[in-house]
Amino acid sequence: MALTDAEVARYARQLILPGLGEAGQERLRAARVRVVGGGPATGPAIAYLAEAGIGTLLIDDPDPVGAGDGVGFLYHSTDIGRPRGVAAAEAVRAATGLVQAELPRPGARPTGVLVSAGSPEVSRAVADEARLLGLPHVVAEVDGQGGAVTVVPPGAPCYACAVRPGIGADPTPAGAATVGALAALELVLLLAGAASEPGGRRIEVFRGAPLTRASVRQPGCACGASKASPP
């Protein structure tokens, strides 16, 4: 279905990006993105995904909103203590009527996943689940003033193959904003069919300078043997 006048006005500047166009925006509207994790990048990532016009956001984050959750991106000070997923879904619904935001429910099959978990183990488990379902996914890791985003299109080397040790610094709001927005942008490009590179990659942002590496499958990794099933 063609975009409505309201959608064209809302997404005007995004619509004229090379490679996106009306068809790409329609793909974003049809997309259902599951956002997983209690990491500090979740708020900025959800704000970006909603602004980009992802049709449905399934926000999977039961942890309570804390004082350091980037008030001003998505949460209000009055949200402190409420489940992040509930507060975030309400914020998205209040900001735009063009995006559905809800908690995950049985039968709501996502078409893409953004992982920003508080621990590498949880990130790895969620990324592996997405890979086995054949879903494009990105993993955001905040590390000090920056961090890393791992981009995994279907069939690409998995997150475990691409991950590298970081600095291990405490997350900062600046790092959360940078990594959250970058992760959301990478997923938007994948879902719109506008990604400049078809393969997987890892983008590390430290001291303000991004460094991109194409992901390489590690010898013997299970991701090279299993066949992902498309959604």
Partner 1 sequence: MKEGIAIAAPAARIDIRGIACPLTWVRTRIALERLRPGDLLEVLLREGEPLENVPRTAAEEGHRVVALDRLPGAAGDWRLRLERGAEGEGSPWP
Is there binding between residue 15 and partner 1 (CB under 8 A)? yes
Is there binding between residue 225 and partner 1 (CB under 8 A)? no
Nearer to partner 1, 19 or 68 (CB): 19
Which parts of 97-148 fold into alpha helices (H)? Answer: 120-132
Which one of the spans 22-30, 49-57, 102-110, 136-144 is the region binding partner 1 (CB under 8 A)?
22-30
The mark string for 140-179 relative to partner 1 (x by CB under 8 A, - otherwise) is ----------------------------------------
Nearer to partner 1, 22 or 170 (CB): 22
Report yes or no: 37 and 117 within 8 Å, Cβ to Cβ.
yes
- Residue 87: exposure state from Cβ atoms within 10 A (0-12, 13-18, ≥19): buried
Q: Which of 99, 26, 94 is nearest to 58 (CA)?
A: 99
Is there binding between residue 12 and partner 1 (CB under 8 A)? yes
Residue of 4, 6, 22, 222 that binds partner 1 (CB under 8 A): 22
Is there binding between residue 62 and partner 1 (CB under 8 A)? no
Is there binding between residue 198 and partner 1 (CB under 8 A)? no
Nearer to partner 1, 127 or 189 (CB): 189
DSSP letter at 34?
A: E
Is there binding between residue 6 and partner 1 (CB under 8 A)? no
Report yes or no: 28 and 54 within 8 Å, Cβ to Cβ.
yes
Which one of the spans 1-9, 53-61, 88-96, 168-176 is the region binding partner 1 (CB under 8 A)?
1-9
Nearer to partner 1, 98 or 133 (CB): 98
Strand partners, 212: 203
User: Two tokens at 152?
Assistant: 């995994």
- Answer positive or negative: Cα dihedral of 41, 34, 187, 148: positive
Helix 42-52 with 84-95: angle, nearest 10 deg: 30
Report angle CA 137, 142, 144 to the nearest 5 degrees. 160
Which one of the spans 7-15, 89-97, 139-147, 214-222 is the region binding partner 1 (CB under 8 A)?
7-15
Q: Which residues contact partner 1 (rule: CB under 8 A)? A: 2-3, 8-9, 12-13, 15-16, 18-24, 193-194
